[in-house]
Amino acid sequence: MAQTLPYKSLIVVDRNARLSLHIQVCNSFISLITNGTLQPNDLLPGSRVLAGLIGINRNTVKLAYDELISQGWAESIERKGIFVLSKLPMGSKAPIARPATDQDEKNAFSWNNNLGHIFPNEQLQHLTLAIDDGFPDVRLAPVDLLMREYRSLSRKFYGKGFLKYSTAMGSEELRSAIQRYLAHSRGLVISTEQLMITKGSQMGIYLASRLLLNPDDQIAVGVSNYGSADDTFRNSGAKLLRIPVDEEGMNIDELEKALQRKKIKAVYIIPHHHFPTTVTLSMERRLKLLNLAKEYRFAIIEDDYDFDFHYDNKPFLPLASIDHHHQVIYIGSISKTFAPALRIGFMSGPPAFIKAAASLRQLIDKQGDTLLEEALATLYNEGEMDRHFRRSLKIYRQRRNSFCEILKADFNNMIEFKVPEGGLGIWANFDAKVELKKVAEEAARKGLYIGNGTYYHNENFSPNAQRLGFASLREDEMGRALDILKRVL
């Protein structure tokens, strides 16, 4: 049977491929054996016959057969030929190779899939015009300086050491640099043992949730909230307790009422430019939250993803900076202030907690990119990051003002919003007659990406609203983008 197979079409070689011809032939035979086309004891065609069929040298076929034999797929029987190894288990005939379907997966192994509700990241890297969620303008980031330091370190003798395994806590030099930066920018006085580098704020949220939350534990979050944090807490088995959010941030009086009725393990809060609504938690509520944390002994996960961009007055100090009882786990991101693809953030907390977080991180990610972290530390130490923040702040303030002026002038009857004090996006409430899904689809046809608002929805919150990011748009791009949006509306 095996002798009659159409080998001319089954074994195809590519003379331009990097893989040698005899290995290509060998791999083709392995595929035929594993998919059941060839069975144990099947006789393979002679080297002269196969060479003629597929148009290669006979010696190449001999090398392929030698490789098959050495790997244990075939055996040579004197004066009879080359056979598929008789000891191989019988395989059933597989269908012709094709992409897997849902039915194929159902017939394969079982696994825990409780992630179907989680939104995949939007692919924004190849878009030419986008009103994003509120991201920095990567063109402003001092990437050339960062790459210069990266290359410089890689060439130095001591820099080679950064290519070896290191601690999951992150580069000591970067931790020291961020420690000093947090002290002078936010009044947060901590030791390097209280600080670890993460792959963005999302890793910090994940590590904190895994250490704090057990199945069925309650965690308090805003009625409106960062969806990826909600997903992370649910994935830990926790139950979300929704607390109202108003113009002064999370309603801490409502949280207190809930604490009197229920055991709450942690509170997740974005006190500075709450996501998605951009409101800021008042100082009165901050102090009350800290007092409640001490009284009821719950952890506060403070997500301070864009502290550096505040325009109209001096930003409030983080909760962590005025926490005297070690109740706050403080999470920040350099990705949101430099460039999203630069996956570097940080998390601070009690030393034992941070040590445990580093141990947990090792289970999925041994360490970060130490060489990159060391290069970034140089930018902090030489003042480049401070200069970048000051430059960016000035540009983003102007872009916010221009964006809001256009919204007021051209979208007055369609969009309600408040000028945000800081951050990189505007929370825009659309007229009830506007169908945001259709708006997003029509805008895409006209060359503009804009979200459709569903990312912010949860079981208690479904406004007809969308965050409109202004920071990543130059004024000419802003004009084109909002012109398309206006025409679509």
CA dist 171 and 334 (Å) reads: 15
Predicted local confidence at residue 475, as pLDDT: 93
Nearest to 136 by CA among 388, 379, 385, 340: 340
| Contact (Cβ atoms closer than 8 angstroms) between residue 420 and residue 247 | no
CA dist 237 and 219 (Å) reads: 10
Predicted local confidence at residue 35, as pLDDT: 87
Q: What is the pLDDT of residues 80-93, one digit of tens each?
A: 999 999 998 876 66
Give Rg (Cα) of the chain: 29
| Contact (Cβ atoms closer than 8 angstroms) between residue 231 and residue 117 | yes
- Alpha carbons within 13 angstroms on the beta-carbon side of residue 235 total 20
Alpha-carbon separation of residue 7 from 42, 85, 98, 231 (angstroms): 14, 19, 19, 51
Alpha-carbon separation of residue 294 from 279, 288, 327, 384 (angstroms): 25, 10, 7, 39
CA dist 467 and 273 (Å) reads: 12
Predicted local confidence at residue 100, as pLDDT: 58
Predicted local confidence at residue 359, as pLDDT: 94
Domains and CATH numbers, the chain: 2-84 (1.10.10.10), 130-136+387-488 (3.90.1150.10), 142-383 (3.40.640.10)
Predicted local confidence at residue 175, as pLDDT: 96
Task: List the chain residues with pLDDT less than 50.
Answer: none
Torsion-angle region of 87 (φ positive above 0: left; ψ -120 to 50: alpha; else: beta):
alpha
Structure tokens at 108: 């394969």
CA dist 246 and 230 (Å) reads: 19
Predicted local confidence at residue 170, as pLDDT: 92
Predicted local confidence at residue 145, as pLDDT: 92
Handedness of CA 72, 78, 80, 81 (dihedral sign): positive
Predicted local confidence at residue 365, as pLDDT: 87
Backbone phi, psi, residue 144, to 5° = -60, -40
Structure tokens at 409: 């002038």
Q: What is the pLDDT of residues 54-77, one digit of tens each?
A: 999 999 999 999 999 999 999 999
Predicted local confidence at residue 119, as pLDDT: 63
Nearest to 92 by CA among 53, 36, 143, 130: 36
Strand 328-333 versus strand 425-430 pairing type:
unpaired
Predicted local confidence at residue 165, as pLDDT: 74
Structure tokens at 250: 């999370």
CA dist 342 and 199 (Å) reads: 8
Predicted local confidence at residue 121, as pLDDT: 60
Strand 249-250 versus strand 266-269 pairing type:
unpaired
